Structure 1
Amino acid sequence: MRPFIASPSNARRTRSREGFMTFSPRKTPTTSQAPQGSPMLEWTGERYLPWIKDAAIAYEHLHRYVLAARLAEGKRVLDLASGEGYGANILAAAALSVVGLEIDDAAVQHARKKYKRENLEFVTGSVTSIPLREEHSFDLAVCFEAIEHVEDREKLVSEAKRMLKPDGLLVVSTPNKDVYRHESAGENPFHVRELDFEEFRSLLRQFFKNTGFLGQRIYANSTVWQIGNAHDARIDEFVIARDTAEFEFATNDRRVPLYFIGLASDAALGKFPGSVLIDCSNELLRQIQEALAWRERQSADRAETIASLEKAVAWRQTQLEDSLEAIASLRRVAGELETGNADLTARLRDATHQLGLIHASRGWQLILRLRRIRNKLKALVTFRVPG
């Protein structure tokens, strides 16, 4: 499953008793609501939920189950790690009976309430220790996007084989490690270990005599079909690629799987043709267009914000220039005042010096004596005059 939802920073990592890496995330809003009448499973990113509005994830998961349903007709089927239950429900439309096995009891309770068919059963249990009594009782076992979540992958495959009839078939998918890690936005926190093709093939060949492999990936395409003849299954595929200025026809090996789908059995394997899942509502294109429109709105908002900020910067620049001019003017005034102050200080110093010279002169001393004589005479005159 794609890794861009749920981040390790938003979750607490724990290890379940079956070896799955699980998280207890903080509450994360979903893009849409679960159907009425069924329990709401929280969108954590660990499992696909049908009401999540991500068309690409839906295409990948639904296509695998639709492909498996063509192999399930009239058979007893075991869906390992059945999650929300949508896949087991798809299988049950064609199969004789289906058992969905899921470790999360909340998901099991949800599935039992939402998907009600007489030939469909949901059981709580581990894919590495399947709690079903009847061994070798299933014609087909499917296990989509679970191996990379489990520490003991060999135990998972051996348990699947234990539940299959001698000629039973296992259909299992997993991300292509080399491509998945390169193209994903970040590490998927729910994956214990991803596999490359050789590791995946070696794992299946440990337990089954015959193996076959399909690749899965979402590609842009043009579809041509016969109008009025919906049951014509023959499809010719043409591969193109634009490596230069123009599209050119390319060989099929240019298609690089994002996911591997393995088919394993002790019986001989027939031919498994590829298939195409067609979304006639063009939901993925609509979502891309919505995303582009949103980005355009964001770009316009940012451009408007930038223009506003540029105006504010220009205004600030004007204010700064005015302030600098005022500062320069004040500095000129301060300089003039400082010059005037220095002149006054010099003049005061000269006056003080002149006054000192006067006070030290004989003339000033004579004046002081005359003032003392005058004061004494005034005192005598005042004393003799009768009151």
Structure 2
Amino acid sequence: MIENTDERVIPELMKHTNPSLLEHIARYQFALEYIHGHVLDLACGVGYGAHMIAKSKKKQLQKVIGIDIDQATITYAKQTYYHPLVTYQHENAVDPFLPDKLGTFDAITSFETLEHVEEEEQFLANIFNMLKPNGTLVISTPFGEGRGKPCGSPFHVHQLTVPEFKDLFHSYQDVSFYGQNGVLIEPLESKRTEHLPIGIAVCKK
């Protein structure tokens, strides 16, 4: 059994009412509307989200690939969240050759990953290059004090401000921004920013 020693969500080790677990499930549920075809779950963790996608959208899917930087986590995902439409792979999200390895996708999800990545530009470039024309990215990150500033989490490089987050997606033809507080996800408006600590972007290439 993999240990829950950092921020990884491992449903088998958590109460079903755990707020963090409910938040993560809510993000995947939100993303289902945009998912079809070939799907990449980038930083998939133990695989519950990729499994949820496959079960919920199996008639609209060709395949789901879940990647994570931690080999033990991928091994756990293969053992615990098997689905015939899902493949789990040990990969680094900032590997510049990742698009060559994985190909392109109709939809990409990446939840609570951006704040862990020092090589932000390479990470975002990989996502853009792996997304097919007219494909959709659904990505989330917690808001904080801004790029390069301490955020109080030993696992985060930093936490972006709302303007910094919104400034990341100019290469996309259409972007919608949402905020999340617990399981509540709603359009991100400046007057409500203080009540919505997590940002979600839905980006169409």
TM-score interval, smaller chain: 0.7 to 0.9
Q: Indicate the SS of the match to 1:148.
A: helix
Distance 2:33 2:155 in 1: 30
What is the CA RMSD across the aligned residues, in angstroms?
2.4
Q: 1:82 to 1:132 in 2, by over 3 A?
A: farther
Distance 2:115 2:190 in 1: 27
> What is the match of residue 257 of structure 1?
196
> Where in structure 2 are there 5+ consecutive unaligned residues?
none
Residue by residue over 1:32-91, the C-alpha shift from the partner in whole angstroms, topping out at 9 and shown as x without a partner, is xxxxxxxx111112311113236111111010011112321x421100000111111111
Residue by residue over 1:306-349, the C-alpha shift from the partner in whole angstroms, topping out at 9 and shown as x without a partner, is xxxxxxxxxxxxxxxxxxxxxxxxxxxxxxxxxxxxxxxxxxxx
Larger RCO (CA within 8 A; separation ≥ 6): 2
User: Counting strand residues as a fraction of each chain, which structure ranks higher?
Assistant: 2
Q: Offset of 1:134 from its aligned partner?
A: 4.9
Q: 1:99 to 1:210 in 2, by over 3 A?
A: same
TM-score (norm 2): 0.84
Q: 1:133 to 1:219 in 2, by over 3 A?
A: closer
> What is the match of residue 164 of structure 1?
131
- Work out whether 1:193 is the aligned partner of 2:153: no
> What is the match of residue 133 of structure 1?
101
> What is the match of residue 230 of structure 1?
none
Q: Offset of 1:113 from its aligned partner?
A: 1.1
Distance 1:146 1:65 in 2: 14
**Partner AA of 2:10 in structure 1:** L
User: Counting helix residues as a fraction of each chain, which structure ranks higher?
Assistant: 1
> What is the match of residue 112 of structure 2?
145
Q: Indicate the SS of the match to 2:179.
A: strand
> Where in structure 1 are there 5+ consecutive unaligned residues?
1-39, 180-185, 221-236, 238-250, 267-387
> What is the match of residue 92 of structure 1?
54
> What is the match of residue 68 of structure 1?
31
**Partner AA of 2:91 in structure 1:** G
Q: 1:212 to 1:219 in 2, by over 3 A?
A: closer
Contact 1:47 1:83 in 2 (8 A): yes
> What is the match of residue 210 of structure 1?
174
Alignment length, in residue pairs?
189
**Partner AA of 1:167 in structure 2:** N
Contact 2:68 2:93 in 1 (8 A): yes
Q: Which has the larger radius of gyration?
A: 1
- Percent identity over the alignment? 34
Q: 1:213 to 1:254 in 2, by over 3 A?
A: closer
Q: Offset of 1:121 from its aligned partner?
A: 0.4
Contact 1:154 1:203 in 2 (8 A): no
